[in-house]
Each structure stands twice: as C-alpha cells, then as structure tokens.
Chain A
Amino acid sequence: MSSDEHAIIIGASHAGAQLATSLRQSGWTGKISMVGDEAIPPYHRPPLSKGYLNGDKHSDELLIRPAAFYEKTDVDLLLGNRVTSIDRASKTITLHEGATIPYSKLALATGAHVRKLESLPGHGLGGVCYLRDLRDVDQIRCYIGTGKSAVIIGGGYIGLETAASMRKMGMNVTVLEALPRVLARVTAPEISAFYSRVHAEEGVRIITDAAVEGIEGDKDVRAVKLADGTSIPADVVVIGVGVIPATELAEAAGLDIDNGIVVDEFARTSDPDIVAVGDCTNHYNPIYGRRLRLESVQNATDQAKVAANTLCGKLEAYNALPWFWSDQYDLKLQIAGLSQGFDRVVLRGDTESGRSFAAFYFEGDKLLAVDAINRPKEFMMARRALSSGQVADPAKLADESVEIQQAFS
C-alpha cells in the first residue's frame, strides 16, 4: 500500500480502538482516522455497570489507551462526530456537519443500539434510563444513592450486574424479568436458579414472569406498574432488554445485511474495500459451524485484528473461541464457548449452596461451553480444550476428586 492511502474507522469503541492499533502493527503506513460520536477516546465498557456506575472509577481510568497513544501512532481521532452516509461509488463518507472525507479502505465498527421500550407508558419520564455508554451511566448516576429505589427491567447480564452494583451502594433493587427465569437466553436453568438465589441472598427482589404495564410519575419516575396491579416504587428505572446491531449506515450504503452486517471470515463486507468488526457483524464461526452475531469484547478485539490484517493484504481467517465474563458481588463468572443447542449440563461443584461451581454444556458427546463461577481453572482449561478440539469426559468433569486437567484428552 502507498502512504497516501486513508483508512477510516467508523465507531470508536473496543473494536475501533483495536483495529486502529492493529492496523499500525500490521504495517498500514497510510493515514488512519477514527470517527466516534462520543467526546472521549475509546473506553472499556464492561466497568460501566460496575466500577463507573458506583463511582469507584473515573472516566479517565476507563480509557483503553490514552489520547496521547493515538497521537503517537498517528491515528486521527474525529470525536464528537457522526457519519451520516457512505458513498461507495466515490469512496467517501459524510459527517453530520457536512464534511466529506475520501477513504481508500473503510471499517465499520458501529456496534449496537439498545433495544428501546418507547411504547411503554411513562417511558419519557426523568430517571428512565438505558445502559450502553458513558453518557447513559452519567444519567443514571443523577438518580441513584443509598436508600433510593431502583427497578431494573430485564434480567440479563447487564440488568443483573446493574442490580448488584446498586445493591452494593445500599439501594433497594427490584429486577423484573418477562420470562420465567433470569438469564434465560444464555444459560441453563440451574445457573438461572443460582443467580436468583445469590441476588435474593444479597437483598435484591427478582420478579420473573413480570408483565410491565407502565412507568408512573409526574416529571420523574415514581413507580413501575405491573399488569397484575403491583406497583413498585422507583427513583430510577434501568431498562436492559438487549441490543440491536447498528447497521443503518451499511444498509443505506447497500451492503448485505442479515441480523448484522454480513462479513466473510476475513471480516470483509459485500464491498471488498469495506470491512466490519464487532457487535455489528454477522460472521461465520468455524468452531461452531454457523454464522453468529456476538455482543462481546472478545469478538470486537479478535475480529478487529483479523480485519486489520485483511486491510493490509494478509488474509488470516477469523477462528477465535467466543468467551465472556460477568462480575456481580463476589461472583466471578467466566464463560468459554457458546452453549446454544446444548442437550445436557454437567455440573462440577454445588449450585444450591455456596458460590463456586462450573457448568459444562454438552450436545451429545461434544462439549459446547462452560459457565465457570469462581472457578478460573475450569474456565481456563475449557477455553483451551474448546479452542484445540480436545474431548471432555463428563463423568470426570462431575467428579471433583479428579483434577480438571484429567477430564480432557
């Protein structure tokens, strides 16, 4: 490539930050610009529902790299900017203030938008919040404090992490889950029951099968009303009911979309000069043999490395094992692999008392995933085994007298 080429990255979060860094490491000598709609450089999002929410961490401490790092590596940060369109014919993007910038290569790292419950009565009241970026949490922080009441709508990871953080701050917390159990979309019933137990032990009220009828209040929220007539007092409501991939720009530009921006194993979209990375992509995973859309730091980071190589002309297929983590109270949950499609769960340790066990998900004889709670060894071993295709022995996994390493061959 020549040094007058220009790579533009749209989106400045985990995927964008990694892509900019990896482009330089992969030998991109041209210009790099990264456009982000927020005013600060890319930052770690996982602490938003934890250390940043409860005030332990300042926004400066969340930065993935300091602003000086981008200067040093000659990456132009176009912060506080929104891209309004992509013109693939002229290979330009247009910013919201009207500037048009030419690109040689374009990377879409547009992430996802929170799913909004805009038709819910009372949705517009003060104190009704979402949790996706720093600005969302800044807003939530205006309404929280010891002794105040919070209602969390959605018993997924975001909802439960938020509940734990608020409970630790001495708030009264209720979690409303529409399905019969929390974490229903992502874990086995045993794990849902475990998280419900721990949250109850910590003083959080979880209501499952909850049908939210509306949010009540005058200017600010006062209560959340359920269909059965229950009214739950609330100073703040946090809605965490999932995300939608941010595909608008790609779609308007005529790129292939199917539950995310469709990319190949090299992170290329249907336009060879445009790659896409992170939460916004629909990509093929060879370990599971199907297309996936993942909402995770791991996917953002690993796919960005693949895309950087692609833009530098080095084609290396994306084949990473998905993994995740979630910290709540003293629970360190580490997840390796994807459990969807499991027909059996093998437990190592006791889910009904205590706070340490691992759940191994199988489809037939094939290990799919592990949820490891305060079990770093089981997580690390399973991550290695799943990546390298080792076979797991369910009987040995269930037997705590057998070293975890001995359960794999």
Chain B
Amino acid sequence: MPLVKFVSFTGEETEVHVSAGTSVMQAAMDNGVSGILADCGGACSCATCHCYVDDAWADKTGKPDEVEEQMLDFVMEVKPTSRLSCQIVVEEDLDGLVVHLPESQI
C-alpha cells in the first residue's frame, strides 16, 4: 500500500498508508488528517481540499485539468504546485508522495 505524507501548515507530519486508487483527499479524510475539508466529497465542486504537492513530486502527480485549474484560481494562497487533492489518485508510482497543506481552505 502506497504511503502518503501530509505536512500541515505548522510543519506537523502525518504518514498514512492507502489502498491504490484512493484519492489524496480521501486518504486525509479516512485518517482524520485535519486541514482538508472536502465539502463536496470529491466531485471537484468546492475547492476545499486544496494542497501543495511537494516539489519533488510535482511532475509525477501531473497537471490539473481545466476545471480544476479554474477552481484553483480562487483558493487562498495559490502556488504553482497547488492541486485539489480529490483529483490526485494515489497509485503505486506515488508511493512516498508528500503534500503540504495550506493555512486555510476558505
């Protein structure tokens, strides 16, 4: 099972193992990682699961599609590595993925 590491805004790290095929958002919800709200449950409709993909992983997670990109324009403190975590699916090739959480979702 791939490992995902969440780093909170204050630097606190949480490592969780997830089944392949799980989104980064769901991994956070399943394990009670705070800092992600995920109001719409993964429909890419609310932009409350914003995260920053660690620079070392940014290529591997791919780029947001057009809808996600437009949503990201309006999140707090957007950066080039910003993603909606519901749109990143963890497969074996993302074992060890590191994502950083923003100070606030809304």
Q: Answer yes or no: do A and B interact.
A: yes
Chain A residues at the B interface, C-beta cutoff of 8 Å: 21, 25, 44, 46-47, 64-66, 68-69, 72-73, 297-298, 301, 323, 325, 327, 332, 334, 374-377, 380-381, 384
- B38-59, CB under 8 A of A: which get 1 and which 0? 0111111111000000000000
Q: Is B31 an interface residue when CB atoms closer than 8 A count as contact?
A: yes
A residues less than 8 Å from B73 (CB atoms): 377, 380
Inter-subunit contact A44/B71 (CB<8 Å): no
Q: Is B30 an interface residue when CB atoms closer than 8 A count as contact?
A: yes
Q: A380-B70, A380-B71, A381-B74 are contacts. A64–B47 as well, Cβ < 8 Å?
A: no
Closest to B71 in A: A376
Q: Looking at the complex, which one of A47, A298, A377, A384 makes contact with B39 (CB distance below 8 Å)?
A: A298
A residues less than 8 Å from B47 (CB atoms): 380
Q: Looking at the complex, which one of A44, A72, A334 makes contact with B32 (CB distance below 8 Å)?
A: A72
A residues less than 8 Å from B40 (CB atoms): 46, 297, 325
Counting chain B CB atoms within 10 Å of each CB, the highest count among A21, A376, A377 belongs to A376
Query: Distance in Å from the Cβ of B76 to the closest Cβ of chain A?
Result: 10
CA distance A323 to B43 in the complex (A): 14
Inter-subunit contact A376/B67 (CB<8 Å): yes
CA distance A384 to B71 in the complex (A): 12
Q: Looking at the complex, which one of A65, A327, A384 makes contact with B43 (CB distance below 8 Å)?
A: A327
Inter-subunit contact B32/A69 (CB<8 Å): yes
A residues less than 8 Å from B43 (CB atoms): 46, 325, 327
Q: A376-B71, A380-B71, A381-B74 are contacts. A334–B41 as well, Cβ < 8 Å?
A: no
Query: Distance in Å from the Cβ of A390 to the closest Cβ of chain B?
Result: 13
Inter-subunit contact B45/A377 (CB<8 Å): no
Inter-subunit contact B30/A377 (CB<8 Å): no
Inter-subunit contact B45/A334 (CB<8 Å): yes
Query: Distance in Å from the Cβ of B35 to the closest Cβ of chain A?
Result: 11
A residues less than 8 Å from B42 (CB atoms): 44
CA distance A301 to B40 in the complex (A): 10
Closest to B39 in A: A301
Chain B residues at the A interface, C-beta cutoff of 8 Å: 29-32, 34, 39-47, 67, 70-71, 73-74
Query: Distance in Å from the Cβ of A361 to the closest Cβ of chain B?
Result: 19
CA distance A66 to B32 in the complex (A): 10
Query: Distance in Å from the Cβ of B68 to the closest Cβ of chain A?
Result: 8
- Listed A/B pairs (7) with beta-carbon separation below 8 Å: A25-B34, A65-B30, A69-B30, A301-B39, A327-B43, A332-B45, A376-B67
B residues less than 8 Å from A381 (CB atoms): 74
Closest to B47 in A: A380
Q: Looking at the complex, which one of A66, A72, A73, A377 makes contact with B70 (CB distance below 8 Å)?
A: A377
CA distance A46 to B43 in the complex (A): 9
Inter-subunit contact A297/B39 (CB<8 Å): yes
B residues less than 8 Å from A301 (CB atoms): 39
Inter-subunit contact A65/B29 (CB<8 Å): yes
Query: Distance in Å from the Cβ of A211 to the closest Cβ of chain B?
Result: 35
Inter-subunit contact B39/A376 (CB<8 Å): no
A residues less than 8 Å from B45 (CB atoms): 325, 327, 332, 334
CA distance A327 to B40 in the complex (A): 12
Q: Looking at the complex, which one of B29, B34, B39, B67 makes contact with A332 (CB distance below 8 Å)?
A: B67
Closest to A305 in B: B37
Query: Distance in Å from the Cβ of A111 to the closest Cβ of chain B?
Result: 16
B residues less than 8 Å from A380 (CB atoms): 47, 70-71, 73-74
Query: Distance in Å from the Cβ of A336 to the closest Cβ of chain B?
Result: 11
CA distance A336 to B71 in the complex (A): 14
Inter-subunit contact A44/B67 (CB<8 Å): no
